[in-house]
Amino acid sequence: MATATQQKENTLLHLFAGGCGGTVGAIFTCPLEVIKTRLQSSKLALRTVYYPQVQLGTISGAGMVRPTSVTPGLLQVLKSILEKEGPRSLFRGLGPNLVGVAPSRAVYFACYSKAKEQFNGIFVPNSNIVHIFSAGSAAFITNSLMNPIWMVKTRMQLERRVRGSKQMNTLQCARYVYQTEGIRGFYRGLTASYAGISETIICFAIYESLKKYLKNVQLTPATNGTERNRNSTNFFGLMAAAAISKGCASCIAYPHEVIRTRLREEGTKYKAFIQTARLVAREEGYLAFYRGLFAQLIRQIPNTAIVLSTYELIVYLLEDHAK
């Protein structure tokens, strides 16, 4: 009976810690999330650049002008949003993000912790295979439950408005999706989210390995160091481990993010995961799968570092307090 109570308290602890970490990360990195989504969209306004093309043999030496489309960069998209829509537009989708991020992170970390307990009884405890299966299981459950909220968030971030005009709120956007596309509309991009489980698996496999390394380093005898110094070093070490693991995972699995954004656009030609991937590759080339990657990295790396380190800190403090 005591064991069951302890397991329940442990699950609630991970729910709370995961929710807090996700909320803090979402608030700080929302502007980069908006910019990244705009860069991933097929509706991104391509800038036309004119390159002079010299024609040999002409008396005047004048050349022809060759127009070429260039994808705007992160700073250009940021400047465009600020000039045309105002600073508040950088926080579009924050409402559903905050509504969704706390429960999604809470559900994810609780599922991950519970799955680790189960898989530790099947495989070698705390091995890479345990981390891979735990991360995959937790991501599958979280994506299935939270896709409607992320769908609404993406739609709000893609909506362009003239400065001063009224923007749809979360409930209005959700109602519009339901009226135009029905219940199925809330699950657009779910297949791409399932493909993105690979990113979560890679991230947590690297993170757990680095965390194990940090723990082994911490256990070695220190020559001149206090307990406080060791704890602070460990905390920043966890932030670095989270940043490295998320950076590697994002670079490897990023194309699914672009496909997911395309599938969530309103009234587009993108219908299914494979069909969208083929269409993007044929019409825009393979580099299109990495549009917005830089914005994703400078958003996700600090966000993941904040989320995971906040989560670990809260778990550490609450477990220490319980003792």
In a domain, 56, yes or no: no
Same domain, residue pair 138 and 83: no
One domain for residues 285 and 197: yes
Pair (104, 180) in one structural domain: yes
Q: Using CA atoms, how far apart are residues 17 and 110, in angstroms rounded to an integer?
A: 9
| Alpha-helical segments (H) within 41-169 | 74-84, 94-120, 128-158
User: How confident is the prediction for the chain on average, in pLDDT?
Assistant: 79
Span 147-187, pLDDT tens digits: 998 898 888 888 776 555 677 888 899 999 999 999 999 99
Question: Domain for residue 151, yes or no?
Answer: yes
If one compares 201 and 302, the residue with the highest pLDDT of the two is 201
Whether residue 84 lies inside any domain: the answer is yes
Contact present, 28 and 98 (Cβ < 8 Å): no
Specify the pTM. Answer: 0.72
Tens of pLDDT, residues 21-31: 777 777 777 88
Residue 22 lies in a domain: yes
Q: How many domains does the chain have?
A: 3
Verify that 85 and 109 share a domain, yes or no.
Answer: no
What is the Cα–Cα distance from 220 to 23, expressed in whole angstroms? 35
pLDDT at 78 over 90: no
pLDDT band at 1 (very low <50, low <70, confident <90, very high): very low
Give a yes or no: residue 208 inside a domain. yes
- Answer yes or no: do 257 and 241 share one domain: yes
153 and 107 in a single domain? The answer is yes
Mark whether 201 and 146 lie in a shared domain.
Answer: no
Residue 66 lies in a domain: no
**52-61, 73-82, 253-262, range with greatest mean pLDDT:** 253-262
Domain co-membership, 250 together with 303: no
| Same domain, residue pair 19 and 83 | yes
Q: What is the pLDDT of residue 231?
A: 59
Residues of the chain above pLDDT 70, percent? 79
Q: Can you read off the two tokens belonging to residue 67?
A: 């127009």
What is the reported pLDDT for 67?
46
Interval 213-271: pLDDT, tens:
888 876 655 545 555 555 555 778 888 888 899 899 999 999 999 999 999 998 779 99
Both 107 and 32 in one domain: the answer is no
The answer, yes or no, to whether residue 56 has pLDDT greater than 50, is no
Same structural domain for residues 300 and 312?
A: yes
Q: What percent of the chain has pLDDT over 90?
A: 28
Top-confidence range, 48-62, 93-107, 223-237, 277-291: 277-291
Does 62 reside within a domain? Answer: no
63 is a domain residue: no
Higher pLDDT, 101 or 131: 131
Domain, as residue range, for 308? 1-47+73-91+292-322
Give the residue among 144, 254, 253, 249 at the shortest CA–CA distance from 194.
144
Task: Examine the domain organization and report whether 243 and 265 are in the same domain.
Answer: yes
Enumerate the H helices of the chain as residue ranges. Answer: 2-40, 74-84, 94-120, 128-158, 170-181, 190-195, 197-219, 227-253, 255-264, 273-284, 293-322
| Residue, of 290 and 36, whose pLDDT is higher | 290
